[in-house]
Amino acid sequence: MEPTKKGVHENAKTDDLAKDTESGQDEFMTTNQGLRINDDQNSLKAGERGPTLLEDFQLREKIMHFDHERIPERIVHARGSGAHGVFELTESLSKYTKAGFLQTPGTKTPVFVRFSTVAGSRGSSDLARDVRGFAVKFYTEEGNFDLVGNNVPVFFIQDAVKFPDLIHAVKPEPNHEMPQAASAHDTFWDFISLTPESMHTIMWAMSDRAIPRSLRMMEGFGVHTFRFVNENNESVFVKFHWKPVLGVHSLAWDEAQNLSGKDSDFHRRDLWEAIESGNFPEWNFGVQIVEEKDEFKFDFDLLDPTKLIPEEIVPVQIIGKMTLNRNPDNFFAETEQVAFHPGHVVSGIDFSNDPLLQGRLFSYTDTQLSRLGSPNFHEIPINRPIAPVHNNQRDGHMRQTINTGQSSYHPNTTGGGCPFQAKAAEGGFVSYHERIDAQKVRARSHSFFDHFSQATLFFNSQSVPEKNHIINAFRFELGKLETPAIRERVVGMLTRVDKTLAEKVAEGLGMPVPKPAENLNQNIPADGDPADFQPFDVNPELKISKALSMAATVKNTIKTRQIAILAADGVDGDSLNTMKLALEAAGAKTKIVAPHLGFIADANGNKIKVDQSFLTSASVLFDAVYVADGTKSAALLQGEPDAVHFVNEAYKHCKAIAANGAGAKLTELSAVGSKLHGEGNAGEKITEAGVLIDHSPDEFIKAIAQHRFWEREKPGKVPA
Ligand code: HDD
C-alpha cells in the first residue's frame, strides 16, 4: 500500500502506528537548520560581562521557539490523558454496516484514546466531579473513525445551540475566574435550574460515575443515536458502548477531594503506570441496534441525547475488544495535538438527526483551527489516517505534504483526471438517503419534552449507598451556592425526579422543600408561549434498570489494585511477605509504607525496602490497607499519628483493611477499633464489613475485590 513517505504509514494492517519520533540519542545537538551547536550554555556577548548581541541567531531561534510552545487549550475537555492501543473485532456486523473494520472477526484496528474531564483547565485536577470524555480514534483502512463519547450515556442539553451557554455556565465565573474545574457554583446551577432537560445528566453527574476510581474502570458511550448502513443501503440505528473488563468503580467524594491535593495527576498516573507495567486496560465494545421500523416504539425519542435506551429493552451486543497497550512518546505531540471529530466517519457509519450531534459536526473542525492553528491539522502524525490521502486541497499554514504535478483541481485532464472519485462499491462515502419532508423551523420536537422520567429511572436504579452519595453530592454542590433562589429552584426541580431525593437534599441544606417553579423551562423562544414548553412525565414501563447501577459490576478481581502495607522496624517478616506475595500473585500492586524512607529491619534483622514514608503517602492513594504483625512495629506505628490517620481514613472511605497479630493494635486506635469494640462480645471474631483481623490472604483478596464496603458509612455522612 502506498504512499511510502516517512511518517505516512506503509501498511494499514499494522496494529501500531508508524511514528515520526526523534530522541536525539547518540546525535549531535543542532539548530533547527541542522547546524551543530558548540555552546548551548552561553549567549553571544560583546565581552564576558558585556551586552548580548543581536547577531546571536542561536539564542533567538531557541527563545523564539520557547515563546511559542503553548497552544490554546481545548475550550472544553482541556485536561486529558491518552494512550495507543488496538481494537479487535470479535463478531461481524456485516448484516448492519459495510464499515470495513466491522466485517471480519479477528480484524485489528489501531486506536488512540484520549480521556478527559470537561470543565477544568489543562493543569486542573484529575479528581474533579465531572463527566469524563472518552474519545477513540480508530485508524481504519478506509479512513479514521472517531467515536467522541463520554463516560455517561446522556448529555445536559438537547440542541447544540445551547452548548456555549452550558459551558459558559460551568466554567469558572468570568469576573474572578473561580472555581476551577468545579460545577459547585452559582452560574452552573443557575443555568441548570432554568433548563429541566439537563436533569437526567445531572443525576449521573451527581452520582459516583463523576468521580471514577480509574480511567480504566469507566464505561464509555457514544451518547447519540448513530446509523449503520449496509451494502444494500439498509440502515439501522445504533448506540455505542464501552464496558471495562475490570468493572465500573468509583471513589468516595471526600477521597476525591483529598486526592486532588495528594496527587492531582492520580488518573493520569494510574493509566500510565498500568500500561508501563504491562497491565493493559481493556474494554469490550458493544452496540445497541434498533431497526428503522422501530424508531417510534419507545416512550422517548431516539434523537434526544438526554435519553438512553435501557439495556433491558435493547440489550448491548458485545462485538469486539479494545486494549490500550502503549503510552504516548510525547504528551504534546500526541495527546495534546490529537484532534477528534464526530464527523470523522467511514462508509457504513452515518448520523442521525440528533440536533446535538448535528451541531457537533460543525464545531470540531472549527475548533481545531484556533487550537492547532491550521487547516492542515490532519497532517500532524497523531491525526494522520493510515488510509492514503489524495485530494486537491493545497497549501495553508505548516503544510507538510509536497504535492507534485500540475493539477490541483477536478475535473482535470492535466493530471489524467486524478485523483478520481470512488463509487459506493469502491468505498466512496454516500450519505444515507433519508427522506426528509419538512418545514424550515427553529423548534424542538415535543417528543423531547419528557425531562424527568429517565432521571427518575436512574435514581430508582441505584443501590442505597449510591442514592446516599447522590443526595450528598447535591447537598455539597448546592451548599456552595451564594444565591438562595438558585438553590430553591434546583430543589424544586428535584421534586419532579423523586420526592425523597428532594426532601433529603432540602434537609441537608436546612430548607423546606420548595414547589417546582410554575414555568420550569426557561429555554423558550421570545415568541413562545411558556405553557407549550413545559416538561411532561411519561410513565415508563421500566421502573428499574440494573445496568445503571455500579453495585452490580465486576467484583472478582484485584488486578492492578494498589495495596498499602504498613510496617515499621521489628515487623514480622513472614507476616509481611506472605501477604505481599499473595496480593501480588493475585495481580495487585503493593507498597510498603513506613515512618521513614530507606529500609526498615524486621524482627530477625532482615532489611526491608520502604516504598513510601507516611509523609509522602496517604491512604487515598490506595484501595486497601494491611497492617503486618510484629510487636515492636505495631508499637511504633501506634505512636505515629500519620499511621493512625492512614487506617482511619481508609476506614472512612470504606476500604478493605486487614491486620495480623499485633498489627491489629493499630486498628484499635482508629475508628475501626472503636467501632469494633462497640460491637461483639469478647473473644468473638470481629465481623465489621471489610475489616479482617487475623484472616487469610485469600479472604483479604476477596474483600478487596468488593471495591468498597459502603454499608459501613453512616447515612448522610462521610464519605460521599
Ligand atoms: Fe464535545 C471536545 C465529547 C457535545 C464541542 N467533546 C470533546 C471531547 C470529548 C467530547 C470527549 C474531547 C476530545 C479530545 O479528547 O480531544 N461533546 C462530547 C460529547 C458530547 C459533546 C459526548 C455530547 C453528546 N461538544 C458537544 C457539543 C459541542 C461540542 C454540543 C458544540 C456544539 N467538544 C466540542 C469542541 C471540542 C470538544 C469545542 C473541544 C476540543 C475539541 O472539540 O477538539 O469542539
Q: What is the pLDDT of residues 353-403, one digit of tens each?
A: 999 999 999 999 999 999 999 999 999 999 999 999 999 999 999 999 999
Tell whether the model's pLDDT for residue 178 goes beyond 60: yes
Which atom of ligand 1 has the smallest separation from the CA of 224?
24
Ligand 1 binding pocket includes 360 (Cβ within 6 Å)? yes
Which position among 150, 327, 472, 523 bears the catalytic label? 150
364 CA distance to ligand 1 centroid (A)?
Answer: 7
Going by CA atoms, what residue is nearest to atom 27 of ligand 1? Answer: 360
The mean per-residue pLDDT over the stretch 461-478 comes to: 97
* 239 touches 288 (CB < 8 A): yes
Listed in order, the ranges of the chain carrying CATH 1.20.1370.20 are: 451-521+533-551
CATH superfamily of 80-383: Catalase core domain (2.40.180.10)
Ligand 1 binding pocket includes 148 (Cβ within 6 Å)? yes
The mean per-residue pLDDT over the stretch 669-687 comes to: 58
In this structure, the strands spanning 691-693 and 656-659 are parallel
pLDDT for position 677 = 58
Going by CA atoms, what residue is nearest to atom 12 of ligand 1? Answer: 77
pLDDT tens digit string along 205-259? 999 999 999 999 999 999 999 999 999 999 999 999 999 999 999 999 999 999 9
User: Which of 608, 612, 662 lies closest to 635, judged by CA?
Assistant: 662
* Pocket probe mutation, ligand 1, options 76, 198, 365, max atoms within 8 Å of Cβ: 76
Name the H helices within 156-223.
Answer: 163-170, 186-193, 199-205
Residue 640 backbone zone (phi > 0: left; psi -120 to 50: alpha; other: beta): beta
Ligand 1 binding pocket includes 335 (Cβ within 6 Å)? no
pTM: 0.95
User: Which of 295, 285, 199 lies closest to 502, judged by CA?
Assistant: 199
HEC secondary structure over 83-109:
EEEEEEECCCCCCCCCCHHHCCCCCEE
Tell whether the model's pLDDT for residue 19 goes beyond 80: no
pLDDT tens digit string along 83-136? 999 999 999 999 999 999 999 999 999 999 999 999 999 999 999 999 999 999
pLDDT for position 667 = 87
In this structure, the strands spanning 562-566 and 589-594 are parallel
pLDDT for position 5 = 33
One-letter identity of residue 109: T
pLDDT for position 517 = 87
Listed in order, the ranges of the chain carrying CATH 2.40.180.10 are: 80-383
Task: Return the ∠ at Cα 478 (arms to 472 and 484), rounded to 5°.
Answer: 145
Q: How does residue 674 score in pLDDT terms, banded at 50, 70 and 90?
A: low
CATH of domain 555-712: 3.40.50.880
* Pocket probe mutation, ligand 1, options 114, 156, 162, 360, max atoms within 8 Å of Cβ: 360
Going by CA atoms, what residue is nearest to atom 31 of ligand 1? Answer: 360
pLDDT for position 717 = 55
Which atom of ligand 1 has the smallest separation from the CA of 223?
24
pLDDT for position 60 = 96
Q: How does residue 714 score in pLDDT terms, banded at 50, 70 and 90?
A: confident
* 210 touches 150 (CB < 8 A): no
Ligand 1 binding pocket includes 218 (Cβ within 6 Å)? no
Cell of 75: 475550550
The partner residues of 286 in beta bridges, in order of sequence, read: 241, 318
Which position among 9, 77, 241, 707 bears the catalytic label? 77
Give 487-537 as a DSSP string: HHHHHHHHTTT-HHHHHHHHHHHT-PPPPPPSS------TT--GGGG----
Dihedral sign of CA atoms 444, 447, 451, 454 in order: negative
pLDDT for position 718 = 47
Q: State the distance between the two ends of the chain, measured CA to CA, in whole angstroms.
A: 55
One-letter identity of residue 615: L
pLDDT tens digit string along 325-360? 999 999 999 999 999 999 999 999 999 999 999 999
pLDDT for position 675 = 66
Distance (Å, whole) CA 195 – CA 520: 8
* 300 touches 306 (CB < 8 A): no
561 CA distance to ligand 1 centroid (A)?
Answer: 31
pLDDT for position 1 = 34
76 CA distance to ligand 1 centroid (A)?
Answer: 7
Q: How does residue 670 score in pLDDT terms, banded at 50, 70 and 90?
A: confident
Ligand 1 binding pocket includes 223 (Cβ within 6 Å)? yes
- Told to judge if 77 belongs to the known catalytic residues of this protein, a careful annotator would answer yes
Cell of 169: 455556565
Which atom of ligand 1 has the smallest separation from the CA of 305?
24
Going by CA atoms, what residue is nearest to atom 22 of ligand 1? Answer: 149
The mean per-residue pLDDT over the stretch 483-503 comes to: 97
Distance (Å, whole) CA 228 – CA 349: 5
451-521+533-551 fold: Hemocyanin, N-terminal domain (1.20.1370)
Q: Spell out the residues 6+ positions from residue 567 whose beta carbon is closer than 8 angstroms to its own.
A: 576, 592, 593, 594, 600, 608, 627, 628, 630, 633, 637
Listed in order, the ranges of the chain carrying CATH 3.40.50.880 are: 555-712
